[in-house]
């Protein structure tokens, strides 16, 4: 059963580019980027029990560093990518030290305040970030001489990165460290009594999630060839969090499905009306009130019940 699902998933990821049009291939690339981002947030929310409302910080800062280094300071894409990932991870290490002084709602408020400060900076420091105009005229890299300018080549690139990210995060979660993380999420005092260091476990997870957030940011800026302060906004963090919760936090694949749904909804709605923020708010209310455990666990519970009924 599990293998059929995996085969279906692999088919749906590998086949479409062969016959779909550019519009759908681009949409699929965007879904892959959103999925990496949601999966990285899920390490905090689902497996660590740390609900962050500032995850857009890592996506935005990762994207901004690469954009500014390549467009302003003449860096090559390779060096810019390394510096961007390193800078984002270092920022996560610093923000983690601050935010993890608190837990629960305090943690949420501090992550939100920190990301709002970055958002304000991106707007106000217009001589560096170009403010509300954003940074435009960017290029995509050409790894090993292969240009990523066509939709299909970018799709394969994003698919490779996303698969690697998913595998790395799956290893992280299922390792012994991942078990101790879940232990700290559920029973921090018992874990401390057993000799684990809950703070350090949370901090390492925070930094690791920031790292993958930065990777998502790089792909994001490569895809759009443009970056604007809205990428750092609460809306951006909230979209990712909605994807995680809608898909089912604490499951490995759920957030990817949730992120895909949020992105499809956003694209579909934006084509017809301008009220995306209002719809985002309404979907938040709906998910929290009606499907608090998310769509993937909800559906899998439903299928188990149906199968049980047949027997």
Partner 1 sequence: MQFWIIQGLNSLSLGGLLFLLSSGFSLIFGLMRLANLTHGAFFMLGTYFAATAMRTYDDLNIWVTALGAGIAVAAVGGLFERLVLTRLKANPLGQVLVTLGMSFIISDACLMFWGGDSIPVPTPPNLQSPTRVFGFVFPTYRLVLVGCAIATATLLYFLIERTRLGAMIRAGVDDRQMARAVGIPVSNLFTLVFCLGAGIAGAGGVLGGPILSAYPGLDADMLPLALIVVILGGIGSLLGAFIGSFIIGIIYTFGTALFPELAYIILFLPMIFVIAFRPQGLFGRVGT
> For binding to partner 1 (CB under 8 A), which residues are involved?
51, 53, 98, 101-102, 104-106, 108-110, 112-114, 116-117, 119-121, 124-125, 127, 233-235, 238, 241, 245, 275, 277-278, 280-285, 288-289, 292
CA distance 255 to 162: 13
- The closest of 45, 40, 10, 12 to 294, measured between CA atoms, is 45
**Which CB sits closer to partner 1, 20 or 109?**
109
**Which CB sits closer to partner 1, 40 or 233?**
233
Instruction: Give residue 30's Cα distance to chain centre.
Output: 11
Strand partners, 227: 135
- The closest of 237, 279, 281 to 259, measured between CA atoms, is 237
The least distance separating partner 1 from the CB of residue 148, rounded to whole angstroms, comes to 34
Element (H, E) at 185: helix 176-186
The least distance separating partner 1 from the CB of residue 281, rounded to whole angstroms, comes to 3
CA distance 74 to 65: 12
The least distance separating partner 1 from the CB of residue 62, rounded to whole angstroms, comes to 19
The least distance separating partner 1 from the CB of residue 240, rounded to whole angstroms, comes to 12
**Which CB sits closer to partner 1, 61 or 241?**
241
The least distance separating partner 1 from the CB of residue 235, rounded to whole angstroms, comes to 7
**Which CB sits closer to partner 1, 118 or 227?**
118
Say whether 55 sits in a helix, a strand or coil: coil
**Which CB sits closer to partner 1, 19 or 274?**
274
Neighbours of 4 (CB within 10 A): 8
The least distance separating partner 1 from the CB of residue 58, rounded to whole angstroms, comes to 17
**Which CB sits closer to partner 1, 18 or 105?**
105
CA distance 280 to 235: 9
CA distance 129 to 131: 5
């Amino acid at each position: 059963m599990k293998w059929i699902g995996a085969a279906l998933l692999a088919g749906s990821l590998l086949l479409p580019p062969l016959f779909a049009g550019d519009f759908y291939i681009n949409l699929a690339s965007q879904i892959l980027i959103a999925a990496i981002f949601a999966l990285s947030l899920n390490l905090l929310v689902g497996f660590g029990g740390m609900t962050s409302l500032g995850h857009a910080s890592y996506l935005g800062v990762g994207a901004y560093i690469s954009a500014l280094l390549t467009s302003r300071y003449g860096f090559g894409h390779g060096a810019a990518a390394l510096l961007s990932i390193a800078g984002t991870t270092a920022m996560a290490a610093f923000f983690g030290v601050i935010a993890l002084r608190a837990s629960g709602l305090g943690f949420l408020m501090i992550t939100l305040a920190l990301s709002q400060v970055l958002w304000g900076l991106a707007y106000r420091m217009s001589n560096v970030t170009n403010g509300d105009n954003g940074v435009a005229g960017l290029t995509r890299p050409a790894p090993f001489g292969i240009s990523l300018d066509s939709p299909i080549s970018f799709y394969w690139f994003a698919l490779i990165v996303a698969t690697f990210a998913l595998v790395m995060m799956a290893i992280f979660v299922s390792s012994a460290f991942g078990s101790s993380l879940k232990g700290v999420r559920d029973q921090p005092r018992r874990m401390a009594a057993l000799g684990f260091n809950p703070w350090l476990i949370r901090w390492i997870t925070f930094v690791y999630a920031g790292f993958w957030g930065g990777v998502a940011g790089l792909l994001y800026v490569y895809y759009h060839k443009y970056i604007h302060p809205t990428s750092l906004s609460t809306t951006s963090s909230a979209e990712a969090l909605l994807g995680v919760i809608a898909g089912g936090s604490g499951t490995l694949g759920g957030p990817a499905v949730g992120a895909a749904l949020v992105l499809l909804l956003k694209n579909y709605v934006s084509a017809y009306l301008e009220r995306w923020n209002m719809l985002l708010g309404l979907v938040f209310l709906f998910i929290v009130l009606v499907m608090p455990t998310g769509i993937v666990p909800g559906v899998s519970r439903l299928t188990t019940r149906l199968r049980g009924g047949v027997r």
